[in-house]
Chains A and B, each alone.
Chain A
């Protein structure tokens, strides 16, 4: 360590360090133009000149390259230094009067106009580019010439093959003299140099060789792209190592082969978006304004290449008219081999069009060209309807060609309308809704694992084993199983985890390590001894906020016993140091001024626990997201704000008290309400995991709606499979089936529910830790199309029954008609029942099989055979089934005339009424939920407008409720086919296992608590709490007063705010703590 004086203050640095490095450490700002952390300092710009007193005399040295020595005295901002720097800036400004960076610097030094004759250069000859190029291992450029003739140039002013156009020179050029464009233009004319396309931004943006693939990447750490990293080409560079404050970069690392012993494997390799380049007629490869939907996603994203600003790529003009083309790379055997439906494109196209309108304003014209609008997911139809109301135009037409409009960047689209007219329309931009397909690498992987694939190269699964591959022990989830959206993928994932885990349940907890528990220090009654740790977050914070000043400011605050600043407070070694400091300094409160508590509070709380402190004796203030990031342009004010935030945090933490976390035992029993396919799947999964499970079934048999189904599209006999499943459930000793049983009441909370079951007039109690709602739905009894008036007019399930009964009459039919959307997609029931299109087509094919001569018609609105169900739609058309589309405002009319059924429907191609005489009409009636409000009340869960249960989160929590310990699956969630019911049943069970696997649950310490003495028993808290946490005390001195169940309380504060008596306080956010913060803030005003 070398000790010396810097501006009169004693400072320390390491032997071999330069003045600038030490000054930086101590937050002393020294300006420089030619310095770069990764490069040997050259002392060329001389701006960093400082005054050095060596004990005898004073002289001027450059801080960037003057090594420190014991006892020297440095002044960084004397008058002479300032004047000299100012003159240097003035000289450079005369040389380069138009360089923004110099103009800014000149302004800081109060130079309005240089006193010298100005030139028009834009190179300040700082030499950064040359040194950087040398560091890259190339030395393609150098400073040539002498004196005033000096310039940056290639040898002999010639183009050079040595230049790899890595752009390192441009990246350090402070003036813009060197840019990538110029390198492209001048140096590497013969090469086609492009930025490295960002995969995440679909190539619309460049990225660096060191990069985090995307903001949410897991792990969220940067990686080096060896294919483009200069170091791996020249052996030079390694600049990144200089910037890594924790020496985390190791270029010598090799790929490692890690062998893992596992009991199950889950395949979740996902999909690749279809590449439309080969569609010549769409000009995707040639025209910048023909983009894919993935590119559109990035353009619309706030984190995307244009920051969410909707502009078209060619000229950055804000488009006025955008078209989406559906089914690009899907449902297409002519131009590609993907005959399946990609399931998700209709919905995302609508979403993009709506968001585009939100971004660009209502006058943006959005047109979606489609074949069938497939919005079959939960709440999707509603979204579709809203989009139409918002003015998104839907045109049913498959467009063949996109032509560039000569003389502009616009695109001409030629298409045929439904009525057969040829139209030409010009758009600013066209978005191709590209489909999903399995990556060839995944296909190869499947081959290697000997896994069977489907016709569309998806993983083949069985309806009743939807996450099992053809290899035992290997499971699948997500888009590799078939094109699917996020909710379905998440459900799949839970199911696969459940299934994969079930076979491993015997091994549970065999490899778990238990951390050593540090005994908690009792700080009660102690005077606060606060430690303040200010984080630099690399340059994230320190680049704007004067961190040392904030740190020193913290020292002046009451009760602060320790203060320091860290480069990265969250780094592991820093955590260890903090633990040591807390112990050594006997700290009993800690403030960390860093980033967001949302991500980092648990980490620092862990540090407190390791130091033996209660984790609630902690306060975090966010001087990054809420300060340095948003006040980049006002560093001084940002520093002040950081001080304010630290002061507020200190004032609050001083009042913090240790809080206890309630611990509750989890009853390792599950109750499943509903014995259909979903419920039984959930039960058998739970049972396989070894948990005692009770199925409560209202009816007298297991099976639910599946009892009414004939077969699946893959040809499985539903009844046969169902009976296997029922037998399995019946025989499993972990499963207790309660038939003809009703649920009368449920009390309690996660981990310890108590249900009252009623059967045969007797009530029993069932204690359980978790519950799965699988109450199903039923088929609508239609009230139109003369249903009930004639035995030949059936619902789909009734036709299934006839198939099951092998009704001989079916063979005699001459004509059969299916009418779709009976009761679905109507104002009264504005959702799609999802299963009917596939079901009707399958049944139509069955009829055709029974009698190939039969005329079979399907009257539909949109055929929604999503995913690989599309194949049977194709087959149906091949087999001569006639599809006639009708509009909701022009429904088919069914007449019963003299015992003849006559259906009149307007043919959408001819525009004329078509009369069909038939002897069988099948109504694809809607799937109607049970709307079980009582059940919803038992568990404090809600139903949506259609009567389906509302899950915790549409995408991320599709199989669970907001109420802890309660899970959801099957038709009660939304209409779905058998495979999806099985999957969701397993998913719900899998989610439940995550709770059951823990024997105890810790709740938060920051919860509400009543002061019974002050309670006026008004019951506002009881009625307002969404989690049923408050209740009245039933015995003892405070009977009738409110108390909060700490297990149920989420600490939301609703009751605290509503309590008129001020009898409730929120621990950790108590009034005095909040007010202390507010008063501390007030000091700033």
Chain B
């Protein structure tokens, strides 16, 4: 069916809002993003689908990730007139019981994450809340009230977990492609540029460049203009973009279509990691569907506007997330950055003016066009508007994706939404911005999250990775870890980055091995400062951040390593040993049982002893002891 107008979209919206909000049957939405699948969602889906194949009263369908990855597989069950309930950790063996439980009175309270107060997205304010007239279940919390979701505002992730990503109609039903068609019907490209500019949206890929200015500059330069979506999300532990591509691919396509129209481009590319096969698959499906609907391709919705999107998969080089390297790779050359003294908006891909944004940026665009620049700019801080998706990982209770308004404090993200540090450990630092971000210590936890503020404390927003670290994290080792990653991922063409990182890593490795010497810290600072200033691309200029911020905030840990030959966190094996605190040990023998080396001995209920000769510092005893009787010395 070719869609020609907003009216056509409204027709679909009407058709599909029933299945979305008022299904006659029981609808079982299984979170089928990579995180869910990894936790067993695919098997659960298969089990349910087979079980209810003949049962017309039960409909099994897939959605994307709703963010709370810790709780995957998440299964939402709903039916017209009853509350929507989100079950957590629904492994294949639990799926049928969960459906049964929903049908028969919700006795398995522990399986339930919560019930939904309002399933509408932020774009659907004008329709009635489908849950408005439904009586909620008692004694079951509302999802919106649990700490993980309470502070979140979902714009980029607005549809993730709410729709079937392989179903364009569901996207349309949730106001999808409305922005595109309204724009084609009513707006000049210049007006769109103004809107995006006024919204204050900044690139979510890491650089934070004002998107509207980028678009306008690109539109100003003559030549074959290109729109590229950077989906080469390479930071370890960060998967915001993957989640959007897997959960709501059309939002990205629509964002690119709007960009293409505003800038005057006919061709878009999505450069996506080959390690994201599901995202690629969903994108391929989405593109086919959009083309079938006449929303992508030639003469979109019967207008003069034509825009095509091709997918190109990257081969897993971190540096290909850098815009010029990405374009080189897209052209079929080696993915190495070049100097951006002539900006890519002037001469980028195939020498044409090229606009490159990342997935999250494009996903925000339809919402902004639909709701208006003022609405978007109303959120966030002076310099950073709107919301940002963070990937919350590390030593934190609630891992997952969160989308919060800019300006929210780190503390709120880590402690309220994230739930703080597990096992009563002490919080030490939070690392933002991926491998080339910085480590922010506790004293800055009240810092409002925006581009400027993070830069002021030596870190970066990056693409939204956020790694929490507790007392057991050695900051020297953290720096070493990131340097090791960057040593592998540096493209190698410029001296400061290639040779500099190599030497930084070398020095850090020495320090961790107990071979640090006086002057190492200063040398690291000297190297770091030079690499920042002299490197060719963003990878190099930000690479020393982990080292420099850890030195800045945790210099004492470096000094302990170098001068005292001690690793206070008990990570660098050459620099600590475990001892059993005789006073704290009550002789429960758990440690002795778990020790793979049989290094711990002692009579029951009496303090145990540890044979240092045998100990391999595997930390099993340390982690096992509930009485903090194993001490790091």
Seen from chain A, the residues whose Cβ lies within 8 Å of a Cβ on chain B are 42-47, 49, 60-62, 65-67, 80, 83-84, 87-88, 91-92, 94-95, 115-117, 124-125, 127, 142-143, 145-150
Contacts and interface: CB of A to CB of B under 8 A. Distances in A.
Interface stretch (B106-114, B365-373, B523-531, B576-584): B523-531
8 contacts: A42-B493, A43-B338, A46-B534, A61-B339, A84-B496, A116-B503, A147-B501, A148-B490
A88 B530 contact: yes
Given A43-B536, A46-B536, A66-B339, A94 B492 contact: no
A92 B495 contact: yes
A223 to B, nearest CB: 36
Contact of B533 (A44, A60, A115, A117): A60
Nearest to B317: A146
B536 A91 contact: no
Ordered nearest first, which 3 A-B pairs have the shortest CB separation?
A150-B492, A91-B499, A147-B490
Given A43-B536, A91-B499, A148 B492 contact: yes
Given A49-B533, A143-B493, 14 more contacts: A42-B493, A43-B338, A46-B536, A60-B534, A67-B341, A87-B500, A91-B496, A94-B503, A117-B506, A143-B334, A146-B488, A146-B489, A147-B489, A148-B498
Interface of B: 317, 319, 334, 336, 338-339, 341-342, 487-496, 498-503, 506, 523, 526-527, 530, 533-536
Nearest to A40: B338
A147 B487 contact: yes
Interface centre among B495, B506, B530, B536 (most CB of A within 10 A): B495
Given A146-B490, A147-B492, A43 B530 contact: no
Nearest to B536: A43
B536 A44 contact: yes
A656 B488 CA distance: 71
Contact of B494 (A46, A84, A94): A46
B489 A83 contact: no
A44 B494 contact: yes
Contacts of A115: 523
Contacts of A49: 533-534
A812 to B, nearest CB: 102
A60 B527 CA distance: 15
Contact of B526 (A87, A94, A150): A87
A80 B489 contact: no
Nearest to A86: B530
A560 to B, nearest CB: 40
B214 to A, nearest CB: 18
Interface centre among A117, A147, A149, A150 (most CB of B within 10 A): A147
Given A60-B534, A65-B339, A146-B489, A88 B317 contact: no
Given A80-B533, A87-B526, A116-B506, A143 B492 contact: yes
A83 to B, nearest CB: 7
Contacts of B491: 146-147, 150
A80 B334 CA distance: 32
A94 B493 contact: no
A43 B324 CA distance: 14
Contacts of A44: 493-495, 536
B530 A150 contact: no
Given A61-B341, A115-B523, A147-B487, A88 B495 contact: yes
A67 B530 CA distance: 22
Contacts of B492: 125, 143, 145-150
Contact of B498 (A42, A61, A62, A147): A147
A45 B536 CA distance: 9
A46 B535 contact: yes
B499 A95 contact: yes
Nearest to A49: B534
B498 A125 contact: yes
A88 to B, nearest CB: 5
Given A65-B341, A91-B503, A150 B495 contact: no
A123 to B, nearest CB: 12
Nearest to A60: B533
A1063 B308 CA distance: 97
B493 A150 contact: yes
B341 A66 contact: yes
B404 to A, nearest CB: 30
Contacts of A80: 533
Contact of B499 (A43, A67, A92, A142): A92
A840 B32 CA distance: 118
Contacts of A148: 487, 490, 492, 498, 502
A87 B495 CA distance: 10
A1033 B536 CA distance: 83
A960 B489 CA distance: 80
B278 to A, nearest CB: 26
Contacts of A117: 503, 506
Interface centre among A60, A91, A124 (most CB of B within 10 A): A91
A87 B530 contact: yes
Contacts of B317: 146
Contact of A91 (B341, B495, B533): B495
A936 B530 CA distance: 83
A142 B334 contact: yes
A593 B583 CA distance: 92
B495 A43 contact: no
Nearest to B505: A148
A939 to B, nearest CB: 75
Contacts of A87: 500, 526-527, 530
Contacts of A150: 491-493, 498
A95 B319 CA distance: 23
B530 A83 contact: yes
A225 to B, nearest CB: 34
Interface centre among B319, B499, B503 (most CB of A within 10 A): B499
Contacts of B488: 146-147
A43 to B, nearest CB: 5
A502 to B, nearest CB: 68
Contacts of A62: 339, 536
Nearest to A142: B334
A124 B494 CA distance: 10
A915 to B, nearest CB: 93
A88 B496 contact: yes
A148 B338 CA distance: 18
Contacts of A94: 499, 503
Nearest to B540: A46
A849 B347 CA distance: 95
A29 to B, nearest CB: 18
Interface centre among B317, B319, B493 (most CB of A within 10 A): B493
Nearest to A146: B492
Contacts of A66: 339, 341
Contacts of B496: 46, 84, 88, 91
Contacts of A116: 503, 506
B57 to A, nearest CB: 56
A46 B534 CA distance: 6
Nearest to B319: A146
B510 to A, nearest CB: 9
Nearest to B342: A67
Nearest to A88: B495
Nearest to A85: B534
B357 to A, nearest CB: 24
A69 B487 CA distance: 35
Contacts of B506: 116-117
A67 B339 CA distance: 11
B339 A43 contact: yes
A94 B523 CA distance: 15
A46 B497 CA distance: 10
Nearest to A52: B341
B494 A43 contact: yes
A231 to B, nearest CB: 24
A66 B501 CA distance: 24
B85 to A, nearest CB: 49
Contacts of A142: 334
Contacts of B336: 143
Contacts of A47: 495
